[in-house]
Chain A
Amino acid sequence: MDKIPRWADIFLVPFINLVLAFAASGLVVLAIGENPFDAIYYMIRGALGSTSGLGYTLYYATNYIFTGLAVAVAFHARLFNIGGEGQAAVSGIGVAVVVLAFDWPHWALALPFAIIGAGVMGAAWAFIPAYLQAKRGSHIVITTIMFNFIGAALMGFLLNGILKNPNTQNAESIGFGPGAHLPTAHEVLAPLGIAFSKSAPLNISFLLALLCAAGVWFLLWRTRLGYQIRAFGQSEAAAKYAGISSVKIIILTMLISGALAGMLSINVVMGEQERLIKEFVEGAGFVGIAVALMGRSHPFGIVLAALLFGMLTQGGFELLWEMPAISREMVLVIQALIILFTGALDNMVRDPVEKLFRRIRKGRI
């Protein structure tokens, strides 16, 4: 099975994918009469070229790490959690309730409780589909998708009702107090003498995301629960033979998955918006699926993939500034092409690379 070296699997194949993706996107850019190399340059410079750009890139990446991990954990139990979007949205309620309930004296005190609030709500939103899958066999893809809609409706109901800020048109809660303000990259790095953009929304949630990635790795490959999750995912029949309860694994896995998706609201609701708004997830739950696929469901790969997707989101927006001829929809096309090449068309590159390696090896032997 190990047909190509690990480094080629992890770096070379994705790299070729990326090059192809940029080539295809370049044709699109060319078609509207712009210089594709400039476009790539603007995208990369926009994503990484300034602390502001970097701050946005990492901010988006933080979201994608959370949702990517959520999808990946479920993947390992062969559960396809499409509900990251809804779980993240509903978890915002947990954050808002926790943060608004008290006049927090310090963020360090508020954060653990906000994490619990977000995790509990995200997990709760994943629990019902998980229960239905485990006990009733209702397919989790269907139920989690449906729960995305129910979650959106619930958010609408609450933000137009009891959670609504009466002083605004927008369906949003009142602003969080200064005691729950999470330190931004600017605030953290300034005392160290590092000047980081003040406007970039990057905040300490990024560290939480890295911590979660490490935690997911630990869970899957160091704990008994992780062992059971992986065994169940690889072969449900074998898990049954080993006496691993499918009900327990499905429910626990989905709770963890939902809680991870819920962490997104720490970054967005608590870290950036500092209020609960209605559609703050903005598709990150679905991007998480692509991130998990591209990261091969491994936390390390997910962090890398999330960085790439963060770059695409931020770089794509920069492209709008620098190349007015490129519309928002065009940027979406370019992003989609990159996802297509790196995710869905992976085998298109992998097979020839494997063949090439085989030939190289034969030549040597």
Chain B
Amino acid sequence: MSFTKAILGTASALAITATAALSDPAIIYDLGGKFDKSFNEAASKGADRWAKESGGKYREIELSSEAQREQALRRFAEDGANPVVMTGFAFASTLDTVAPDYPDTKFAIIDMVVDKPNVRSVVFSEHEGSYLVGVAAAMASKTGTVGFIGGMDVPLIRKFACGYVQGVKATNPDAKVIQNMTGTTPTAWNDPVKGAELTKAQIAQKADVVYAAAGGTGVGVLQAAADEGIYSIGVDSNQNYLHPGSVLTSMVKRVDVAVFDAFSQGADLTTGFHVLGLANGGVDYALDEYNAKIFTADIKAAVDAAKADIISGKIKVHDYMSDNNCPIE
């Protein structure tokens, strides 16, 4: 991160938080940091949007050690912040012990379920969004072989993969899906070089559409796909603009929406299981001027049909995490 950016970022944060008073909402970014160009950054955009639209103030903190999770949670709760939103599943165990101590404070955890009366657990139906881009990939592929590159091998990423495979197979039962995970450590989220290597390996096996669900690693996947002249699919935020004409679409996961929603409801945050799926705009595929040319009308028709079917319940996309199993490979 450049110095000026840090200054600007912190300066704007200062403007927002300078007069933070009781019961302002608060957000805790995970160790990756606020400006991780991915999950945390999307969350911060949601918070910013809320501040702009409502004119309210919010507080925020970036963690730098594991022990600070609990510290930050308690600190915000004791300072009267409400609700307290946290990004990432790593907060789960901590929140599980802290939440009961502050029954009057509402917490929202994104990407994980914590079953406590004052906690909203926001999860996304990534399998549904992945299904849609799977349909698009199968339509766009000429070779009948498509690829999937995951980041760190965790159930969440397998959930992406499983939804994707279902979408591909539903469209073209003979299609082949090559799956690779970048690694088993958190560095797998930020290894664009390896992402590019895996992409090239998949291309060698005839893949001509590659879906990257790999955080920062995906940048390398998209780059390699653009270099080799095949299609790629972005993830989380809309990455279509990165390589116009090569990024077929992006599976967008509206973390910002989750934060915006939680902030908007304030201290009256409804708790419990909160699923953001296709129906309520929490996940979607992205269509804009950057991919309009390659995302043909045929593809769009097929994808929109699938989307309608999922929303209506006609198509049930299997969620890997419901039983840690995927019915088809």
Contacts and interface: CB of A to CB of B under 8 A. Distances in A.
Contacts of A188: none
A320 interface: yes
Nearest to B13: A324
Contacts of A56: 67, 71
A169 B59 CA distance: 27
Contact of A160 (B64, B65, B89, B184): B184
Given A325-B11, A327-B9, A330-B6, A170 B92 contact: yes
A interface, size bucket: 35 or more
Given A199-B74, A324-B17, A169 B112 contact: yes
Interface residues of B, number: 40
A153 B90 CA distance: 19
B64 A317 contact: yes
A156 B93 contact: no
B214 to A, nearest CB: 16
Interface in B8-62: 9-11, 13-14, 17-18, 33, 59-62
Interface string A150-191: 001101110010000010111110010000000000000000
Contacts of A160: 153-154, 184
Contacts of B59: 324
Nearest to B321: A169
B39 to A, nearest CB: 13
A160 B152 CA distance: 10
A37 interface: no
Interface in B274-305: none
A176 to B, nearest CB: 11
A273 interface: yes
A60 B66 CA distance: 11
A331 B62 CA distance: 11
Interface string A202-244: 0000000000000000000000000000000000000000000
A330 B11 CA distance: 13
B186 A170 contact: no
A325 B67 contact: no
B89 A170 contact: yes
B312 interface: no
B184 A325 contact: no
A148 interface: no
Contact of A313 (B13, B65, B154): B65
A169 B92 contact: yes
Contacts of A156: 183-185
Interface string A314-339: 00110011001111111110000000
Interface in B162-211: 183-186
B185 A329 contact: no
B67 A59 contact: yes
Contacts of B61: 320-321
Nearest to A277: B66
Interface in A2-32: 32
Nearest to B76: A321
Contacts of A166: 324
Given A153-B185, A313-B65, A329-B1, A169 B155 contact: yes
Nearest to A281: B66
Given A168-B89, A317-B71, A327-B10, A279 B18 contact: no
B156 interface: yes
A240 B64 CA distance: 46
Nearest to A323: B14
Contact of A275 (B33, B93, B111, B183): B93
15 contacts: A56-B71, A155-B185, A156-B185, A160-B184, A168-B92, A168-B93, A170-B92, A268-B66, A272-B66, A278-B185, A317-B64, A320-B62, A324-B14, A325-B13, A327-B62
